[in-house]
């Protein structure tokens, strides 16, 4: 399933993200030495890097390094300051990086260390959604909304049609109503639902993520009435699933109610 937001992490322990330029040592190609690259450490514990900052979100990364179980440490053998290494758990390759300052190096080492030793938490809700994804669409009990939606593929500017089921903050995608299981889905905790007008003046449903690490999704129903039906259902479904700290804060901010005798 496509994970819109990562609910398998403890909500009170923000999953580390880090981005910025680092110099990466290379021994391949015609040019050997240090190359400046744009690095992004994502919520899933994978380190992506690109040629330039502008490439993030527009181009595929040059490489993706899975950090869970990796070894990271400072390297003083090269006689160059702010150098540190990363050895992924799988494979025998060593990645050598150089930061611009001691503070930058510490920032990356701390974020990478948290990605290497992630805090996992089991969720009954996650088990239920995974179970539901293996069911035919009409076998999901008491759906909050269902019907056809078109999803915008931002890479091709094409609309892809899905038969969709909304249930408990999860949007399941099916190739058709006769499918035997979901082809994908989105965990929508923390997402905001808005109505937007795209360049071709068509009203669409925008699902805005709680963090820039996640994608913004655009959907369009068969007509404006259907759009409004989905927007109402999506807002209500997402509102049920607030992080604990936010639910407590909302409760504390509620006005005091009078007690009648």
CA proximity to 167, closest of 227, 233, 219? 233
The pLDDT tens digits for 72-111 are 999 999 889 999 999 998 777 899 999 999 999 999 999 9
Same domain, 171 and 240: yes
User: Which residue spans within the chain are E strands per DSSP?
Assistant: 18-26, 33-41, 46-50, 63-66, 71-74, 83-87, 95-98, 145-153, 158-167, 170-174, 184-187, 192-197, 203-208, 217-220
Alpha-carbon distance of 46 to 53, in angstroms, equals 17
- According to DSSP, residue 162 is labeled E
- The pLDDT, as a whole number, for residue 40 is 93
For residues 145 and 238, state if they share a domain: yes
Tally of domains in the chain: 2
Is residue 217 over pLDDT 70? yes
Which positions ≥6 away from 192 have C-beta within 8 Å?
A: 207, 208, 210
Q: Are residues 44 and 106 in the same domain?
A: yes
Is residue 70, in this structure, part of any structural domain at all?
yes
Q: Are residues 95 and 138 in the same domain?
A: no
Report the helix count and the strand count for the chain, using DSSP H and E: 4, 14
pLDDT at 12 over 80: no
pLDDT digits (tens, 9 = 90+) for 170-216: 999 999 999 999 988 888 888 899 998 876 657 899 999 887 767 88
Identify the domain containing residue 213 by its residue range: 124-244
What's the pTM value of the predicted model, to 2 decimals? 0.56
**Residue 9 within any structural domain of the chain:** no
Percent of the chain with pLDDT over 70: 81
Residue that is last in its domain, among 54, 86, 116? 116
Q: Which two tokens stand for residue 202?
A: 């068509």
Among the three residues 96, 116, 136, which one is the final residue of a domain in this structure?
116
Confidence of residue 13 (pLDDT cuts 50, 70, 90): very low
- 101, 145: one domain: no
CATH number at residue 82: 2.30.29.30
130 and 240 part of one domain = yes
State whether 138 and 110 are in the same domain.
no
Q: How confident is the model at residue 244 (pLDDT cuts 50, 70, 90)?
A: low
Q: Is residue 162 part of a domain?
A: yes
pLDDT of amino acid 234: 95
249 located within any domain: no
Q: Looking at the structure, do residues 138 and 176 belong to the same domain, yes or no?
A: yes
The DSSP-derived string for 18-53 is EEEEEEEEE-SSS--EEEEEEEEE-TTSEEEEESSG
Say what the pLDDT of residue 123 is.
64
């Amino acid at each position: 399933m496509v994970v819109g937001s990562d609910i398998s992490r403890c909500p009170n322990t923000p999953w580390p993200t880090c981005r910025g330029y680092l110099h990466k040592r290379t021994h391949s190609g015609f040019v050997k030495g240090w190359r400046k690259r744009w690095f992004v450490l994502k919520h899933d514990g994978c380190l992506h890097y690109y040629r330039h900052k502008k490439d993030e979100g527009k181009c595929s990364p040059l490489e993706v390094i899975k950090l869970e179980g990796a070894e990271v440490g400072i390297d003083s053998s090269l006689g160059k300051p702010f150098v540190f290494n990363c050895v992924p758990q799988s494979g025998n390759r060593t990645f050598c990086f150089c930061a611009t300052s001691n503070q930058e190096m510490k920032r990356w080492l701390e974020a990478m260390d948290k990605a290497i030793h992630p805090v996992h938490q089991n969720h009954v809700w996650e088990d239920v959604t995974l179970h539901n994804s293996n069911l035919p669409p009409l076998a999901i009990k008491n759906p909050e909304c269902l019907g056809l939606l078109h999803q915008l593929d931002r890479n091709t500017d094409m609309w892809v049609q899905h038969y969709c089921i909304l249930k408990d903050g999860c949007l399941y995608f099916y190739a058709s109503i006769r499918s035997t299981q979901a082809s994908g889905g989105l965990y929508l905790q923390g997402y905001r639902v808005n109505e937007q007008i795209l360049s071709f003046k068509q009203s669409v449903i925008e699902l805005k993520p709680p963090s820039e690490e996640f994608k913004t999704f655009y959907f369009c129903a068969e007509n404006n009435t259907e759009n409004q039906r989905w927007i109402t259902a999506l807002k209500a479904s997402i509102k049920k699933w607030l992080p604990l700290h936010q639910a407590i804060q909302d409760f504390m901010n509620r006005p005091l109610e009078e007690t009648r005798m």
